[in-house]
A and B are shown apart, each in its own frame.
Chain A
Amino acid sequence: MSANAGPVTRPSPPAGGPGVRRGILGWARRRRSGVRGAWLAAAAVVAALVVAPLAGVLASLLDPSTEVWRLLWETRLVEMVASTFVLMLGVVLGTVLLGGGLAWLTGVHDFPGRRVLSWLLVLPLAMPAYVLGFVAIGLLDAPGPLQSAVRTLTGAQGALFNPRSMVTAVVVFVLALYPYVYLLARAAILDQSPTPYLAARTLGLGPTAAARRVLLPLARPALAAGAAIVAMETLTDFATVQYFNVTTISVGVEQVWHGMYDRGAAAELASTVLVLAALVIGGERLLRGRARYDQRGGGHGIPPIRLRGRARWLATAACLAVLAVAFVVPVVQLGLWSLDAESLGLGRQFVGHMANSALLAGVTAALCVVVGLVVVNATRLSRDWFTPRLAAVANLGYAMPGPVLAIGTLLLLVGVDAALGAVGIEAGSALVTGSVGAVVFAYVVRFLALSSNSLDASLERVSPTTTMSALTLGARPLRVARRIHVPQLRSGIGIALVLVAVDALKELPIVLLLRPFGFETLSLWVYRSAAEARWELAGLPALAIVAMACIPVVTLFRLQLQPGTRVAEPQAPAPASSSHRRAGARRATRRPRP
C-alpha cells in the first residue's frame, strides 16, 4: 500500500489502496474537519503575511510606468536580463559543483583531516558576499598586492588584467555561496542509508559510478534546495555585482529608484526578478517530475572510502585550497586592513552593535524555524491542492531584492497604522519604525524560504506513508507534526537556524531602512565604511560579523553533523522504520508521469 501513496507536494490525492483511502477518509470523518482546516488556515496566514509587503510594491504593476520601460527597453534591459541570467547560471552551476563535490568528498571519503575540514568548509558561509567582493577587488586590482608582486618579479608594466568582469563575479559568488549547497548536500549524504550504495557497489559499479547513479539522485532535493537559495541570493544582490561592473536587474532597480526617483518603475523591474526566481524554482520542480525521495530507516551514512596514496593528500589539498581562498585569505586581509585603521572604534558602541546583531539574528532564526515548521507540516498534512501553493507563495520574500522588500514593509506598516488610526487606535510611530518589530517582520518574510527550503529538503526523506500511517492510526495532525515530523527534521532545523541566523547577521538593506532610532548593527557599520571606500574601517566590523556567524556554524557541527551524534541513530530507529520493518532498504523510485 505504501508504494501507491502520492507524492507529498502533488495536488492530486493519492491513488491509494482501499485500505488507505478508507483509513484517511475515516479519519477525516472521525475528526472534526476543523483540525485540518487549521493547518490550511495557518499556511494561508503565513502566505498572506509574506505577500502583504510585496503587494504594496507590486501594486504599481497595475499602472505601469511606460516611459521608463520604453527607455529601459531601448537601452539596458536586454543586457541586464542577459547578465542576470549568465551570472545566475554560472553561480548555480559553480556552487552545485563545488558544494556538492565537497560534500561528496568529505561525506564519502576518508583522508587526512577529513573530520576537521568537513566543518571548516562551512565557515565561508560567514563571509558576506559584499565583503568578499571588495576584498577580491582590493587583492586583484592593478594596484593590489598580487599584480604588484607579479610586476616586480617580471618587470612588466601596467595592468596585467582587470578583475572587474563577469568571470570574477561568478567566482566570488561561488566562493561566498557554495556553503548553502554544501551544508544541505552533506546532510543528505550523511542521513542516507548505505544500503542502496553498497548494493550498487556489490553489483559491480565503481565508487564514482555508484555515487553518480545512487548518491546523486538521492541528494537531488538537497542540491535543488541549495541551488534555489543560491539563485535567489544572486538574483537579489545589488551590491556585490557592482564591484565587478556587472549590471543585473537588481542594479537596474537601484538605478531607477535612486537616480530617476521612480519607485513605481523600480518595483515593476523588481517584479521581473520575482518572475525569474519563480521560473528557476518551478523549472526544477518540473524536471523532478513525479520522482520521490523518501527513505526508510535511520541513516547511518555511507562507510567511508579510504583514499590511498596521492589521492589522500590531493583530497586534503583540495579542501584546504577552497578554505584558503574563500575564508583564510579574506580574513587575513580584513585583519591587515583593521590594523591600518587609526582608531578601531572599539568600546561600548562596538559591544552594543554586536548585541543588536546577535539579537536580530537569534529572534529571526527562531521565528523563521517556527513559521517554517508550520508551513512544511501544513503542506505534508494537508491533502488539498491549495496548501502547497500557499507554501510556495510563502517563499517569495526571498526572491525580492532587499531594498524593495524594505520599502514594501514600510508602506504596509504605514497603511496599517493609517487604518488603525481611522478606527481610533493611535499606534504612533511605534508600529512603523519605532521598534525592531518592523525589521524582524521583514526578516522573517525575507528569510522564511531559507528555513522552509532546509526543512523541506529534510522532510523529503520521510515517507508520506509514515505520515499517513500515523494519521490513520488516529493521531491528530499536530501530534504527527510534533512526534513524527519534528524529530526527523532535526538536522533540517539545525541547518535552518544556522542559515537564517547567518544571513540575518549579514543583511543590510532592510535593517538600513527600517531600524528604529539608535539601533545600530555590525552590517550597518560595514556599510557606512564601505560606502565611502574606507576599507580600513570596514575591516573590524566585517571580521566581527564573520566571528559571530562562526558561532552557530560551529555549534551546528558539534551538535548535529558529527558522525555518531547524527539525527537518526541506528539504535533508535525513527518511527518510519518501525512501521515498515520489512522494507529495510531505502528507495529513490523514479516513476514515469502518468
Chain B
Amino acid sequence: MTSIRPRRRGPRRLVAAMAALLVLAGCSSAADDDVVRVFSARHYSLEPAFEAFAAETGVDVEFLYGGDTELRERIAAEGEDTIADVYLTVDAGNLWLAAQDGLFQPLEAPELDGAVPDNLRHPDDLWIGLSRRVRAIAYDPEAVDASELSTYEALADPAWEGRLCLRRSVDTYTQSLVASLIAAHGVEGARPVLEGWVANAEIYNNDVEILDNIAQGDCDVGIVNHYYLARLLDEDPDFPVELFWPNQDDRGAHVNLSGGGITAQAPNPDTARQLLTWLATDGQSAFVDDNFEYPVNPDVEPVELLQQFGDFVGDSINADDLGSHNREAVALLAEVGYE
C-alpha cells in the first residue's frame, strides 16, 4: 500500500516572511510637525503641487486617493482615530455632506478672504474651493453653428433629437449639473428639460468618449467638462471640436468645484491650514494648470491654452446649495428614465 507523504517545502517560512512584511507595510506614525496627510478624491497633478509645497515650506505631504464617497465614509468611520488632516474632493455634493456631518473644522485663515470668492467657499468657513471645472457645451463646427447654441435648457429642444451626447446619470458631473437646474428652476421646472434631454440624447460613459464621438461626427453636441477638450487640444491642436459657454445671458455656466477642508479630528490642523492656504494662493497654478482647470483665485491667470476658450460667466450659486440638491437630482434623473 502506498502512503502519501505530505510535502512541506518551506511554506511556513514563506508565510512568516509575508506576515512580517504585512506588519511592516502597515506602520505609519500619526502626529508630526512637518507633515500633512491628505485624503484626496482628486487625482491630477497632486504630486508636482505637493512637491512644490514641500520644497517651499519644508512640510511633507502624504496623500491617499480614493472615491469621494468612500473617503468621506472612511473619515467619518475613523472618527478621532483618523490620520487625515485634509479632505479634498472633486464634488460639491460630498463637500456639502461632509460639512453637514461635522467632518470639517473652520479654516480660520484670514489670507483666504480675498483669495477665494464667497460663492466658492462654505458660508461658515468649513471648506474652500481650489479649482473650477466648467461644464460646457462641446460641438462639431461642421454640423453646428455657434449661433444655434444658447443654454443647457435649449438642448432639450426637439431640434437636437439624435444629435446630443450626454454622460451617464451615475456620474457625479451629470448629477451636479441637474442639481444646478433644480436650484434654478425647482424640480418641476427642471423635469421638462431632462425629459427633452432623454428624448434627444445618446449616453456615454465618460467625457473623452463624448468628445471623440463629436470629432468623429457621430454626435453634434455634448456636455463635457472643459478640461477634457483642453487636454485633447493640447495633444492635437487641430482636434475638430469647439467649446461653447452656455447660459451666459442668465445665471452663467455650471461650475464643478474641486475643493477641500481641514478634518474635524485632524492630528495636524496647522500644517493642513498651511497647505490649503498655499493651494488657494501661491500654489494655485501648480495645482490647476497641469489639468487645464480654472483657478478659483481671481488674481491667478489660467493656463495659456485656456485663452482660446475665451472668458465666461460662471453660475454664482454657492456650491453648498448645489450639494443640497444632489439627492433630488438623482431622484429626478431616475424618474425621467435618464440612463
Contacts and interface: CB of A to CB of B under 8 A. Distances in A.
Q: Do chains A and B interact in one complex?
A: yes
Interface of A: 71-72, 74-76, 137, 141-143, 148, 157-159, 162, 164, 242-243, 245, 247, 251, 254-263, 356, 359, 362-363, 366, 403, 406-407, 410-411, 414, 417, 428-430, 432-437, 440, 482-484, 486-487, 509, 512-513, 515-519, 524, 528, 531-533, 572-575, 578
Identify the interface centre among A157, A259, A260, A429: most chain B CB within 10 Å of its CB: A259
Given A261-B93, A414-B77, A245 B330 contact: no
A251 B15 CA distance: 37
Identify the interface centre among A142, A256, A261, A483: most chain B CB within 10 Å of its CB: A261
B70 A137 contact: no
B330 A259 contact: yes
Contacts of B11: 366
A363 to B, nearest CB: 5
A63 to B, nearest CB: 18
Given A261-B97, A512-B67, A528-B65, A410 B26 contact: no
Contact of B218 (A142, A366, A573): A142
Interface stretch (B189-197, B204-212, B247-255): B204-212
Nearest to B28: A517
B26 A434 contact: yes
Contact of B2 (A141, A436, A573): A573
A435 B327 contact: no
A488 to B, nearest CB: 8
Interface in B286-339: 326-327, 329-331, 334-335, 337, 339
Given A258-B172, A359-B22, A436-B25, A158 B218 contact: yes
B25 A516 contact: yes
A432 B81 contact: yes
Interface string B15-26: 100110111011
B4 A429 contact: no
Given A71-B334, A429-B83, A524-B65, 4 more contacts: A74-B335, A255-B334, A407-B73, A513-B70
Chain A contact residues, majority secondary structure: helix
A572 B26 contact: no
A72 B330 CA distance: 11
A426 B285 CA distance: 43
A528 B26 contact: no
A375 B177 CA distance: 50
Interface string B172-214: 1001000000000000000000000000001111111100110
B73 A486 contact: no
Contacts of B65: 524, 528
A76 B331 CA distance: 10
A71 to B, nearest CB: 6
A231 to B, nearest CB: 23
Contacts of B169: 255, 259
A482 B2 contact: no
A159 B70 CA distance: 37
Nearest to A531: B43
Given A255-B169, A528-B43, A578 B337 contact: no
Contacts of B6: 482-483, 486-487
Contact of B216 (A71, A143, A363): A143
A509 B22 CA distance: 20
24 contacts: A75-B334, A137-B209, A141-B209, A143-B215, A164-B205, A242-B205, A255-B169, A260-B330, A359-B21, A403-B70, A407-B70, A432-B77, A435-B23, A435-B26, A487-B4, A509-B70, A512-B70, A513-B73, A515-B64, A517-B37, A519-B25, A528-B65, A533-B207, A575-B4
Contact of B18 (A258, A356, A363, A483): A363
A483 B3 CA distance: 9
B79 interface: yes
Contacts of A528: 43, 65
A519 B43 CA distance: 16
A533 B209 contact: yes
A141 B210 CA distance: 11
Given A254-B170, A255-B170, A528-B43, A533 B208 contact: yes
B242 interface: no
A510 B66 CA distance: 11
Interface in B62-91: 62, 64-70, 73-74, 77-79, 81-83
Contacts of B81: 417, 428-429, 432
Contact of B68 (A142, A258, A263, A483): A258
Nearest to B11: A366
Contacts of A162: 202
A70 B1 CA distance: 67
Contact of A259 (B2, B64, B175, B203): B175
A432 B218 contact: no
A442 to B, nearest CB: 13
Nearest to B326: A259
B74 A513 contact: yes
Contact of A255 (B68, B215, B330): B330
A166 to B, nearest CB: 13
A532 B73 contact: no
Interface in B6-46: 6, 11, 14-15, 18-19, 21-23, 25-28, 30, 37, 43-44
Nearest to A255: B170
Given A261-B326, A482-B6, A517-B64, A414 B78 contact: yes
Contacts of A440: 22
B283 interface: no
A259 B23 contact: no
B334 A76 contact: yes
Contacts of B278: none
